[in-house]
Chains A and B, each alone.
Chain A
Amino acid sequence: MAIECINILIGGEAGQGLATVGQLLSKCLVRSGYHISVTQDYMSRVRGGHNTFAIRCSAQPVSAPLDRVDVLVALNQETVTLHKDQLGERGIALLGESIDDEGARALAVPYKQLIPKRLFENTSALGVLCALLGIDREVPAELMRQTFKKKGEDIINQNLEVLDKSMQWLRDQSPDFPALPAPPDAGREKIMINGNEAIALGAMAAGVRFCSFYPMTPSTSVALTLIANAETLGMVAEQAEDEIAAVNMGLGASFAGARAIVPTSGGGLALMCEGISLAGITETPLVFVLAMRPGPATGLPTRTEQGDLDLVLYAGHGEFPRAIFAPGDLEQCFRLTHRAFDQAEKVQGPVFVLTDQYLADNYRDVVPFDLDSLPEPVMPGESTDDPASYERYAVTESGVSPRLVPGTGEHLVVVDSDEHYPNGHITEDHGVRIEMQDKRMRKEQILKNDVVPPLLVGEEGADVLLVCWGSTQGPALEAAQLLNEQGTSAAVLHFSQVWPLVPEQYAETLDAAKKVVVVEGNATGQFATLLKIAGCFEPDGRVLRYDGLPFTAQYILERLG
């Protein structure tokens, strides 16, 4: 194994609280100094079904899901049936009341003896797990105190009692389970968040003041994170009547000078297309977050895929420039969302942050983001010395016209969805049309000059170069590491900005590699096709996944051949 790690998979029905146990345990691990990466798999239902919360934990950084399971926490029988074969050599199952081990190495946890009421089962499970993983008692105890602070001393004490009893029970069993090595950077200040929370934090750092959205998994938690902090930050977040309203509201807020974001998923973005085009012609900055899930149509509502690249690339009728970011990890979620706001303002148009369910729900430990190193925000102007001759769409060399906020001075801001004169008023003059379209398209060069280059991890000229984008970064890196350990030189080229593409940034790297394989989560190889369109490049192979589950290193290696 490349990384000494433990993979804990908690399984059960929706409504059994597995995500709560998972989050509490994850936090304990992070506070103990470990690195984690959480993969959530859930069904599109509120109760029942089969859901899992998998925590991969290590003393070294981890960035991908793992197929092997070391601790299987089964809250129902189905979890044992479905996952017992994933249990590794040292693997152990912790079973809830009256669950059959089906031949797996298992411990039956006598929850009834350990807890006074069902309500305490989460705390008990946490205690058992902390004891198994060798986590210091004070870590979960402190978490209990924080979690139940509002509920009062009594509740805290009852939970602590359950915690202690459960930890003791596990120790009494003295199971043969290997401990993780002590984390080298324990004591370092860290936070635990998921991809959507990192995106929301990036928006906050960029000064977002308006969010309009219509709920759609897996994008909703971006809006919910902003709403939870709206009062502190001073912003309005409104649940619109539909996605069409959401995008148009966002454009109105942006027209009025506020930084605005619209989070959505595939079906929602499909509805927003006309509004995206409106952002294009009105030259209004707007940041879109598209958290992908498998389509077509409603597809697999809660699963993951990278199937909407073509959608964002071409969303909206007519022609206009756009930028598309595709973060691969949480730091990128944060930084690229922040950057998306600045790029949107710089070129006055739509900018997209493309993520997916895996990354959206992927909790990881991160060092708090460095806010001080962020660039100063680009802002629209508030006034002009010569309001009478102000023209919103004045033709400039760069294509960018001076953007002013309406109502802040005597100038008038005139914005139109029809083709318009530099002053914003409608025209059907062919000459003006060409002038305006050329002006808008010139802004593409500004985006091109400022593209985040793809990141090469490994040596130029490796035997195998894995090309990936977005959330596939972690699994690709691990696959390359495993290949290197097996004696095949391998490297990864990860694109965190997928449009525009600047072949000069990566053509040599692609040419130098002996074999280039594009790894992406869709059935047709959308990014591979894009590489062909942008630079006539044809990869030697493709590894695709579109069963709704995230990539793992093992999945990639098995298909590399």
Chain B
Amino acid sequence: MGRIEDYGEFETAWCPGCGNFRILDAVKKALADMDLPPHKVAYFSGIGQAAKLPHYFKCNMFNGLHGRGLPPAQGAKLVNPELAVFCHSGDGCNYGEGGNHFLAALRRNVDMVLVAHDNQIYGLTKGQASPTTEEGHVTKAQPWGVKSSMFKPLAVAVALRANFVARGFAGNVDQLADLIRQAHETPGFALVDVLQPCVTFNKVNTFAWYKERVYELDDSYDPTDFDAAMKKAEEFGDRIPTGVIYRNDRPNFCEALVTCGGELFNKPADRGLVRSVMMQYA
């Protein structure tokens, strides 16, 4: 068991009271619980308030482009399977700009964890609607209320038979840390969508609003039951379930692909092999 202090203290650029702070607490707790020291983990992220998270504790990190946290994360894991790979970003980043990458990552099933900070709004660009904003929600950019239907990441992940689909809440750090740990320990692609109140731009889905609605799934719930999982994934309104929604055991990408396996970094060419390949063309 590691110590939370080992992951450092950094000054942040988040608004006081933001749900992101609690997610950061949960991340550090999960890493300490799993005894993953900073240099063994690599954090990938896109752009946005959420995506800055890796800057606020000690880790290897690649803070890339808006919507593009997942592709570099998968590229790194495929060549360096020893790295514990995590991706953190907002709902706009993961489900909007990066929607295609999200779908592909679910299908590809590389062994990694995606934590989506779902504040149902664009934070960094100051309050426009995101794919998970509820219909009717009024913003400066959507003055007549959001007309598109709400994107349901959990339902999509279940529909694509992801290996691990969970929902956490920034107001429940212990549960969230535990979900991150379980996600990491599950082989294949794991999604943890986190309800993250944005105290500045989302005046609807506040801490109080969530506290009234969220509940923890208990032992009577079977996450391997696809139909039940689909139902739970859809549940969002007066009651919002948190916990592990769905579990599956598809072989992860590296197990499935013969050319994968082992560390591919810093390996110079074997000239004998290259010559044998070249002479196929004789």
Contacts and interface: CB of A to CB of B under 8 A. Distances in A.
Contacts of A244: 68, 71, 100-101
Interface stretch (B24-32, B172-180, B185-193, B261-269): B261-269
Contacts of B274: 201, 204-205, 233, 371
A417 B278 contact: no
Interface of A: 189-193, 197, 201, 204-210, 212, 229-238, 240-242, 244-246, 248-258, 260, 274-275, 278, 282, 368-369, 371-372, 376-377, 379-380, 382, 387, 405-407, 409-418, 424-426
Nearest to B37: A410
B39 A387 contact: yes
B251 interface: no
13 contacts: A207-B268, A238-B108, A248-B72, A249-B72, A251-B64, A252-B73, A253-B75, A258-B79, A407-B40, A407-B42, A412-B61, A415-B62, A417-B64
Given A204-B274, A413-B60, A248 B262 contact: no
Contacts of A255: 62, 72, 75-76
Nearest to A372: B271
A234 B79 contact: no
B277 A232 contact: yes
A34 to B, nearest CB: 15
A251 B268 contact: no
A424 B82 contact: no
A182 B258 CA distance: 47
Interface string B47-64: 100001001001111111
B259 interface: yes
Contacts of B269: 204-208, 233, 377
B18 to A, nearest CB: 17
Contacts of B70: 245
A274 B67 CA distance: 12
A210 B80 CA distance: 11
Contacts of B194: none
Given A201-B277, A253-B76, A256-B77, 10 more contacts: A192-B281, A235-B259, A244-B71, A244-B100, A256-B80, A379-B268, A405-B266, A406-B42, A406-B60, A426-B63
Contacts of B279: 191, 368
A412 B266 contact: no
Nearest to B69: A248
A258 B265 contact: yes
Contacts of A191: 278-279, 281-282
Interface centre among A233, A238, A411 (most CB of B within 10 A): A238
Contacts of B42: 256, 406-407
Given A234-B262, A242-B100, A197 B281 contact: yes
A418 B52 CA distance: 10
Interface centre among B42, B62, B260, B276 (most CB of A within 10 A): B62
B251 to A, nearest CB: 16
A257 B79 contact: yes
B72 A233 contact: no
A105 to B, nearest CB: 35
Contact of B282 (A190, A207, A256): A190
